[in-house]
Amino acid sequence: MTHSRCADGDTTDRYEWDSLTHPWVRDLAWLLHAPDLVATAYAGRPTLAELGLENSACRQAWLRELDMAPERLEPYLGECPRRLGLYHERLWHALLDLAPATRLLATNLVLHAHGRTLGELDLLYVDAQERPVHLELAIKYYLGLRDGPGDARDPARWIGTGCADSLARKLHHTLRHQLPLAHHPASLAALKANGIDPTSLEQRIAMPGVLFWPWPHSLPAPRPSRRTALQGVWLPWRDWPALHGALPDDSLGVTLHKPHWLAPPRDERYRPLPVLEAELREHFVVAPTPRQCHLTTPDGTQWRVFVVPDDWPRSLPLPPTTQRRRSHAENWGIGQA
């Protein structure tokens, strides 16, 4: 397999979760290294140095201690949510509360004004210098479309598997609503009530995830994605035999189930591709919904692959605009008879 957009960045520092056994701790280890999908005018995710985990030996010791005593994570993840976004948030709560150089202040701070709910601030913490930080969180898995709205790099062409979200919509909501919300008068009062000086508040975005390219086609990266963003491929079920045939002999694979879409599974969970193929075939008969898989080749290369129903996408999300226009499905003929 030679497609340039397939290699999964999960191989970076992979050893840090290979020796870990508990899924929560493995996902925390993945989160420590997962790059943000996008670059904006706001600072990105906290760095290892800012978390106090820059030293590799100290970081591995910290992870091993959690792996031997995962009950320390139960206050954050005790009733492990199946929703990926909520699980991702809880992992950040644990990370920022337990890391050596940060301290969690508040989570999901709901803001009200004039009898209505304005929204909420995802997370507030302080760094090693006791500076307050407002961090907005998201974990996203977007599939790129060869045809769609705008030019070839338009983020509206990168959509979620449920066809209700796009990179364009997520960026618009985060940059135009979530982050400015911290400057609303209701927010200022809530910050002061939590002992935070609003004038010293730093704002950041943590948005890890994976961008999936349509196999075997080329497609420009969306604006404003980072070059370091993790990458995978997606394909309709009818093209699975071609992908299977392009992989080296003795390649292995496993399906991923929410919420554990973060760290790759342990080695013993991988199965020969014919076994994986049989599982996928049964899935698309019973529940024709997109299914994410993780593949590994004999040389150790890691791949993330989304296999989708042959009629996917059945619709496209509306563009991020205040003006209601025709749906992308109408504009691009998707779902038309």
Residue 199 placed within a domain = yes
* Within-domain flag for 75: yes
CB–CB of 224/48 below 8 Å? no
- What is the per-residue pLDDT across 123-176, written as a single tens digit (0 to 9) for each? 999 999 999 999 999 999 999 999 988 899 999 999 999 999 999 999 999 999
* E strand map for 187-256: 202-206, 209-214, 230-236, 252-255
Identity of the residue numbered 71? E
Please check whether residue 314 lies inside any domain of the structure: no
Q: Which domain holds residue 25?
A: 9-232
- Measured over the CA atoms of residue 102, residue 82, residue 312 and residue 150, the dihedral's sign is negative
Mind listing the pLDDT tens digit for each residue in 201-237? 999 999 999 999 999 998 999 999 999 999 999 999 9
Q: Which of 273, 326, 307, 230 is nearest to 13 (CA)?
A: 230
Q: What is the pTM of this model?
A: 0.89
With 0-12 CB in 10 A as exposed, 13-18 as middle and 19+ as buried, what is 186?
middle
Q: Give a yes or no: residue 163 inside a domain.
A: yes
Core vs surface per residue 121-153: b (16+ CB within 10 A) or e: bbbbbbbeeeebbbbbbbbbbbbbbeebbeeee
**Residue 248 in 3-state DSSP?**
coil
Asked whether residue 37 is domain-assigned, the answer is yes
180 phi/psi in degrees, rounded to 5: -65, -20
Please give the tally of structural domains in the chain.
1
